[in-house]
Chain A
C-alpha cells in the first residue's frame, strides 16, 4: 500500500499556479518526500525532493508542513505541457523499496 494519499485528479488554468497536495501522515524521520511526474507512455520524470525544509528548483517548489505529515508541490506557471500524472512518494534514506501510488492526474487547460 502506498504511504501517501493524493487526490485522483485536478484541473488548472494555463499560466496559473498548480498546487498539488499530498498527505503522508505516517512518514518517518528518515524518509524524504519525492515528487515525480509521468506523461503518458513515458517513464516518470524526477521533479524535486525534500526532507523537512521547503525546496525550489527550476521546475517547481516543494512546501513541507512543519509536522511533515503533508506537502504541496507548486508549479508556479502551469503550461499545457505540465498535463501529467504527478506522484508523491516517501523514500527512506538508505532504503530500496519505494511505493508509487496512483498519483494525481493534473489537467492544464487553455
Chain B
C-alpha cells in the first residue's frame, strides 16, 4: 500500500531564517505531488504541484519554492521566512491529475 510521510511535524523558526520541509511517498511510482498551506481556521491553498522530477508548477507567487529531486521526494523551501509564512503545511500525492489526492500528516510552522 501507498504511504506518505512529511517532516518535521512541528517547527518554530525566526523571521529571516531558511525553511526546508520534506515529503516522501512510498509504494507508488511517478506520483503527482502537491504542497498545500492552511492558515488557522481556513481552507487549503494549493502552493505547488509536480508531475515529475524537476517539474514544478507554482500556483501562488510567494516567498516559497519547491523542488523534486527524486521521483517520490518533494521539498518545500524558503530562503528567508516571513511572519505570514506561519501555517499548517500539507504534502499530498495522487496517481494522476484529477485523481484522488491523499494527504500527509502535515507540518506546523510558526514563524516568530
With a cutoff of 8 Å between Cβ atoms, the chain B residues found around residue A29 in the complex are none
With a cutoff of 8 Å between Cβ atoms, the chain B residues found around residue A99 in the complex are 43, 46
Specify which of A36, A49, A93, A98 is in contact with B46 (CB 8 Å cutoff).
Answer: A98
Q: Are A41 and B106 in contact (CB under 8 A)?
A: yes
A28-72 residues with Cβ-Cβ distance < 8 A to B are: 32, 34, 36, 41-46, 49
Tell me if A81 counts as interface (CB < 8 A to partner B).
no
Specify which of B36, B42, B98 is in contact with A95 (CB 8 Å cutoff).
Answer: B98
Q: How far is the CA of A93 from the CA of B42 in the complex (A)?
A: 25
With a cutoff of 8 Å between Cβ atoms, the chain A residues found around residue B36 in the complex are 100
A96 and B49 in contact, given A41-B106, A45-B103 (Cβ under 8 angstroms): yes
Specify which of A34, A42, A96 is in contact with B57 (CB 8 Å cutoff).
Answer: A96
Is chain A's interface secondary structure helix, strand, loop, or mixed overall? loop
Tell me if B44 counts as interface (CB < 8 A to partner A).
yes
Q: How far is the CA of A93 from the CA of B41 in the complex (A)?
A: 28
Q: Are A49 and B43 in contact (CB under 8 A)?
A: no
Tell me if A10 counts as interface (CB < 8 A to partner B).
no
With a cutoff of 8 Å between Cβ atoms, the chain A residues found around residue B101 in the complex are 46, 91, 98
Chain B residues near A (Cβ < 8 Å)? 32, 34, 36, 41-46, 49, 57, 59, 88, 90, 92, 97-98, 100-106, 108
